[in-house]
Chains A and B, each alone.
Chain A
């Protein structure tokens, strides 16, 4: 398909057909003060070679040769060329969300398989056909919990990704949710259980935690579930690093899992597009946002796929819909499905173990650096918080000179944590680069400020 703008003669033809003399005439109903009276200030057209040249130059602005130790919600994992080759097939790449669902059997089958894989990973009974991303999956889970319980209070751990909490705050401000935050324990980095017990009461719809949390620490999901369930609240478990499920215990005690699927075969890009996941118990399925693809048999007994539960979506239920999500991230969900199928059960476990091994090695190497210590004692997956003898921002400035993108300074998110930074290593981080980080860091800290 070609996306060429209309020609002048086509414009004239269309204007004539509706009886307008000019474009200005067509927009007459808009008050003149709100109309643009000059053409948009855009650069002129370029030739094909000119365009290629332009983008080549822009691409050259990208930094190369840097080693990054950033994670914090977006993770650099190995991706197979097979995934990109398959998702670029026209049938998948150009198809829009299946409103005429059943003619798109291939799309529905892919969605069905995605849902199945998400259930297997999360230990839940049903998973929807994707949300936009992890950050929007959290407020959707909170709203869902409010519908299920008939309550409006949501208790969120401060160790949930700060940007996810901001998105939740936006939904709450304009909706019917009251959000309260609880601290994490200074020693373990896990949620403060006493604070959670105090905060969760008979008006609480959900307790929301993240595991591994934003500080890198795995939470005790069964304990949190017990606290929530004792008060009739639901437990929402946020997962920003889906790869952790290759080895971590699935959050089966959660009532709703709100997950970011980026780690499963999607490139970090510039922060998107990714695929969010909502997985839950079957008994809550009618309060779940989005839609489900289901497997069935046709009149001749052959296997086929249908969209189920679409009846509660916005295009049918209007203002009474369970959510304002209209489409989904079908292509990203497909990429995750292909990636997981390529890895297989053994593959994802092995990859997850490599992450754990890398993190252990990095921790050991970095803790040897005088003045550097592990900030939290709780168990970690591929990310951990370190405490430094000086501001992480100052350290990073020096690391950058050595082409190292250093730890994420936590001070920007937690004002009392300016000397703490989040380090992430994955299977893609060379061991030698971890050793180099430790060496350069040692050099920086030996020099007086």
Chain B
């Protein structure tokens, strides 16, 4: 379910790193919890982000939720296709519905994020708590 080469945050974002560039999106767990996504608000390329800084919102029919940057860096590209097809975040959250690409300023920060197994365990725990 959760790609093994991605890293994950407790706020349910993922980041995939190739060289100095990271691609960021929200996880399948997050899209499922939010429900039908109707709008995605993203920053402009060039925006400088701190780790855990809010950089946009995802709006579902139920709520508007903040999206937080998994690491520090500068936004190099945003997924413009989501402006017209936000529902892709529901259907392909780990692939074509990526949100932003960024140039990492402190790649060391990746070490503090969860890998796929740890994230799976984290959401299992969350679901257990929710149903308890």
Contacts of B62 in A (CB 8 A): 311
Contacts of B61 in A (CB 8 A): 311
Give the interface size bracket for A toward B: under 10
Q: Closest Cβ of chain B: how far from A108's Cβ, in Å?
A: 15
Say whether B77 faces chain A, with CB atoms less than 8 Å apart. Answer: no
Which residues between 304 and 323 of chain A lie within 8 Å of chain B, taking CB atoms? 311-312, 316-317, 320
Contacts of B39 in A (CB 8 A): 286
Which residues between 7 and 51 of chain B lie within 8 Å of chain A, taking CB atoms? 39, 41
Contacts of B41 in A (CB 8 A): 286
Mask for B89-119, Cβ within 8 A of A = 1, else 0? 0000000000000000000000000000000
User: How far is it, in angstroms, between the C-alpha of A286 and the C-alpha of B56 when the chains are bound?
Assistant: 13
Contacts of B121 in A (CB 8 A): none
Contacts of A316 in B (CB 8 A): 63-64
Q: Closest Cβ of chain B: how far from A112's Cβ, in Å?
A: 17
Contacts of A286 in B (CB 8 A): 39, 41, 59
Which residues between 194 and 237 of chain A lie within 8 Å of chain B, taking CB atoms? none
- The residue that A312 contacts in the complex, of B60, B64, B66, with Cβ under 8 A, is B64
User: How far is it, in angstroms, between the C-alpha of A286 and the C-alpha of B38 when the chains are bound?
Assistant: 11
User: How far is it, in angstroms, between the C-alpha of A312 and the C-alpha of B57 when the chains are bound?
Assistant: 11
User: How far is it, in angstroms, between the C-alpha of A316 and the C-alpha of B62 when the chains are bound?
Assistant: 9
Q: Closest Cβ of chain A: how far from B46's Cβ, in Å?
A: 13
Identity of the chain A residue whose Cβ is nearest the Cβ of B57 in the assembled complex = A320
Q: Closest Cβ of chain A: how far from B26's Cβ, in Å?
A: 16
Identity of the chain A residue whose Cβ is nearest the Cβ of B64 in the assembled complex = A311
Q: Closest Cβ of chain A: how far from B67's Cβ, in Å?
A: 13
Q: Closest Cβ of chain A: how far from B68's Cβ, in Å?
A: 13
User: How far is it, in angstroms, between the C-alpha of A320 and the C-alpha of B63 when the chains are bound?
Assistant: 12
User: How far is it, in angstroms, between the C-alpha of A317 and the C-alpha of B58 when the chains are bound?
Assistant: 12
Contacts of A312 in B (CB 8 A): 59, 64
A: which residues have CB within 8 A of B? 286, 311-312, 316-317, 320
Ranked 6 nearest A-B pairs via Cβ:
A311-B64, A311-B63, A312-B64, A317-B64, A311-B59, A316-B63
Residue pairs across A and B with Cβ atoms less than 8 A apart, 16 shown, are: A286-B39, A286-B41, A286-B59, A311-B59, A311-B60, A311-B61, A311-B62, A311-B63, A311-B64, A312-B59, A312-B64, A316-B63, A316-B64, A317-B64, A320-B64, A320-B66
